[in-house]
A = this chain, B = another copy of it.
Amino acid sequence: MDQDRSAPFRRFGEDYRWEGVSHLPYKEDATTPFKSVTRQVLFHEPDMGCELRYFEVSAGGYSTLERHEHAHAVLILRGRGEAMVGGEVRAVDTNDLVSIGPWAWHQFRASRGEPLGFLCMVNALRDKPQLPTADQMAELRAVPAVAAFLERTGEG
């Protein structure tokens, strides 16, 4: 059945939006664990084992710090920022690759004065993310580079 498939050609448009792709800002308030993140599902095909999504974090924003069994395969598509994977912090630039293995804590931060946009390939069937408990958070913060990373917004 082809009826659920994407059209063969979909154009890239202004401000990193694509023709025929819904743009989903994540609703946030003071309690949400992310800031200034939008999501666009670029490919979700009935006969493929994975999806390809595009996430964008505005300058100063960050994705949720989380972990899960499923892996992420990430390519930075726009701008630059920083990423933390399993306690390791790195500056990331356009076209860099980030591999997030099962159960690795991870977060992306647009902490370098630019938006940070990235492609994320993920299994179509996947488990729900876990947020860190207070104890796990303390353990992550015990690594000085991670503690500093978690405070950085790139502002001021």
Contact = CB atoms under 8 A, between A and B. Distances in A.
B12 A99 contact: no
A140 interface: no
Interface string A94-118: 1111111110100000000000000
Interface residues of A, number: 48
Interface in A80-95: 83, 85-86, 88, 90, 92-95
A119 interface: yes
21 contacts: A2-B101, A5-B99, A6-B99, A9-B83, A9-B85, A9-B88, A9-B92, A9-B96, A10-B96, A11-B93, A18-B95, A42-B75, A43-B73, A47-B70, A47-B123, A48-B122, A49-B124, A50-B50, A52-B75, A77-B95, A119-B119
Interface of A: 2, 5-12, 16, 18, 21, 42-43, 45, 47-50, 52, 70-71, 73, 75-77, 83, 85-86, 88, 90, 92-102, 104, 119, 121-124
